[in-house]
Amino acid sequence: MAGTDDQVPPPPSSHSLEKQFESFRVQLEESAALREQIRAVVMEIESSTRLIQANLLLVHQSRPIPEVIEKAKEKINDLKKFYGQLAEILRECPGQYYRYHGDWRSETQAVVSQLAFMHWLETGTLLVHTEAEEKLGLNSLEFGLETEDYLTGICFMSNDLPRYVVNRVTAGDYDCPRKVMNFLTDLHAAFRMLNLRNDFLRKKFDSMKYDLRRVEEVYYDVKIRGLISGGDQGIQGQQS
């Protein structure tokens, strides 16, 4: 028995086995093609976000805020268009949003952080999840903004605030630290309502307290030198 060549007849399933793998190849190729399409759109989103960011960075050079925001806002329509395209692509495979989610995840977090910063500059308030979805023309039933992506984006925005405060003070805006400090304090308190897992979002949230501390230091420096004139001109004047 062992002396014969290993000419054991192929198992009966051999044909169906080949067939199955052939259909796997077709299906996987389809999903790879879909992914290509997604990537192309995500690259557009990425570059639009960069343009917005480049625009918003002018606030550090004390350009007038309305002018800066006006320019950045024009680009939001592009983002809206690209997210519309993504939703269109994903419509081909209902229920599989999260299969491909990783492909636009970090780009979307960056989008949220820019939108939220812009919104804060404009209104002094936090851009909430539903507002962010609205700005991007997203509909949470079909193609929504994942809550965790939104929250991560907000943490990214907080990371940018200390630099903003420092530069505003250098430019002579001594009331800015208090405004930012109050905003960040509220935001930090709100984040503490969340039971976070030990994941990326948790890490980002943990870094928020350093942003807050930095802003508090700047506020302290300004206040102790009596640079805050008049005091009660901020959003919130009770405690000074």
Partner 1 sequence: MFGCSSAFQRVAFLLMAPKLKPQRLHQIAETGAEQLVKRARTMSTQSSIKDAFSTYADYLNNFNEKRERVVKASRDITMNSKKVIFQVHRLSKDNKEEVLEKAGKDLEAVREQHFSRLMKELQGTDFWKLRRAYSPGVQEYVEAATFYKFCLSGALVTLDEINETLLPLNDPSLEPLQINILDYLLGLADLTGELMRMAIGRISDGEIEFAQRICQFVRQIHRELMLVVPKMDDSYDMKSKLEVLLQSVIKIENACFSVHVRGSEYIPMLGDNAPTSFLLGGADVE
Give the one residue of 52, 169, 187, 222 binding partner 1; rule: CB under 8 A. Answer: 187
Number of residues in contact with partner 1 under rule CB under 8 A: 67
> Judged by CB under 8 A, does residue 196 bind partner 1?
yes
Asked if 138 contacts 85 with a C-beta cutoff of 8 angstroms, the reply is no
Chain residues 35-64 in contact with partner 1, contact rule CB under 8 A:
35
Residue 147 token pair: 């809550």
Using CB under 8 A as the binding rule, whether residue 229 contacts partner 1 is answered as no
Asked if 139 touches partner 1 (CB under 8 A), the answer is: no
Between 64 and 237, name the residue whose CB sits nearer to partner 1. Answer: 237
Of 6, 36, 61, 225, which lies in the binding site for partner 1, with binding defined by CB under 8 A? 6
Q: Which stretch binds partner 1 (CB under 8 A): 52-60, 79-87, 159-167, 184-192?
A: 184-192
Among the candidate windows 63-71, 81-89, 164-172, 206-214, which touches partner 1 by CB under 8 A?
206-214
Residue type, 142: E
Contact residues toward partner 1 (CB under 8 A) are: 1-3, 5-6, 8, 10-14, 16-18, 20-21, 24-25, 27-29, 31-32, 35, 95-99, 101, 124-126, 128-130, 147-148, 151, 181-182, 185-197, 206, 209, 212-213, 216-217, 219-220, 235-239
